[in-house]
Amino acid sequence: MSTNTLKPVLVIGGSGVVGRRAVKALRRLQPELPLWIGGRDTNKAATLAREVGLAEAVRVDLERDDLGLPPDADVSGVVVLLKDDTLRSLKYAQAKGVPSVSFSDFAFDIGPAVALHAHRPARAPILLLGHFLGGVMTLVTLHLAREFKVVHSIEVGGLFDEEDVGGPAASGDMERLTKGVPSPLIRHEGRFLWASGDEATRVFHGVDGTAWTGRAYPLLDVPSLAAATDARTVRLDFAVRPVAARPPGQGAGLEVVIDLTGETAEGVTKRVRHALVDPDVHSGLSALGAALATERLLGLAGGAPVGPGLHHPEGVLDPAYVVERVRESGTRLWKM
């Protein structure tokens, strides 16, 4: 007889490109956690539910306050792996007093979620996780930054393969970004800027020394890393690598270089460079980030359940723990 008393986590968008992998990562981490895989197409969700076990497909209607779920639906958390511009999914979690994860917000998007929290601050934990790689990059960077007493600058260069594209929801977000609010957020010499012109691009060198012209993005990693380290310069720039430029024998993997400058405990100022190379496309680590955050919020790993509040990944997850899980996933991380 099953002694499972855990309530299900509702994963909206759980059958998408990132969602499927987040659901599988959660299942690996938490074999006993019941999952509801939510979307419009329940056939797609049901196939995945059968594959991972202890899961059900549920039809989610974001046009309804009850999300189209039965009145007695009893969930332990709501993970939203798509841009819900109605915010009904977060309100639903807040009304039930359970944690929620918002995965698709750029830095300029978070106003309405912040207001929802400000309106009922003691009601439920809300995790803003629109960060690069579901918060993994920020946590890895914070782990690496521990060698400094003071961090002066954090410059991240990300190289996506041309064929590393997400599903329709991800394309919709990129279109929203390029059409709506083109200015990226950076911190430059102590000031937060919505950068334009030359400030919005940066040449960075990949692992093999190739120079790439990256473009900055308005990602939540910038305010998170600035808040956690007070580095005066923080930016993330991304470039797309054509298939023809793939290193020999490699597929559509992801490459990230992290340049840090700062002062050590001995008073030495230095610059260090780390590389993160994943043979997998970016949805792999992003899904891992979402899964690690979800189990942490619920108190199924790393400590007691996270209390009501507005949270960022660095406030709830331990960087060293995340680095261990990242290495286990087959991603290589080293000092160059």
Residue 168 binds ligand NAP (CB under 6 A): yes
Q: Which residue in the set 170, 185, 258, 322 belongs to the binding site for ligand NAP (CB under 6 A)?
A: 170
**Residue 15 or 76 having the CB closest to ligand NAP:** 15
Integer Cα distance of 278 and 216 in angstroms:
21
Return phi, psi of residue 275, to 5°: -120, 145
| Binding region for ligand NAP (CB under 6 A) out of 166-174, 180-188, 209-217, 304-312 | 166-174
252 DSSP 8-state letter: S
**Cα–Cα distance list, 227 to 83, 138, 209, 234 (Å):** 25, 11, 31, 10
Q: Which residue in the set 9, 26, 33, 82 belongs to the binding site for ligand NAP (CB under 6 A)?
A: 82
Residue 286 binds ligand NAP (CB under 6 A): yes
Q: Which residue in the set 30, 75, 83, 139 belongs to the binding site for ligand NAP (CB under 6 A)?
A: 83
Residue 155's contacts (CB-CB under 8 Å, 6 or more residues apart) are 202, 204, 233, 234, 235, 237, 258, 259, 260
Integer Cα distance of 12 and 191 in angstroms:
36
Binding mask 8-47 for ligand NAP (x = CB under 6 A): ----xx-xxxxx-------------------xxx--x---
- Least distance between ligand NAP and beta carbon 67 (Å): 9
Q: Which residue in the set 77, 99, 130, 284 belongs to the binding site for ligand NAP (CB under 6 A)?
A: 130
Q: Amino acid identity, residue 14?
A: G
Residue 158 binds ligand NAP (CB under 6 A): no
Integer Cα distance of 197 and 179 in angstroms:
16
Residue 168's contacts (CB-CB under 8 Å, 6 or more residues apart) are none
List contacts with ligand NAP (CB under 6 A).
Answer: 12-13, 15-19, 39-41, 44, 60, 62, 81-83, 103-104, 129-134, 166-170, 173, 283, 286
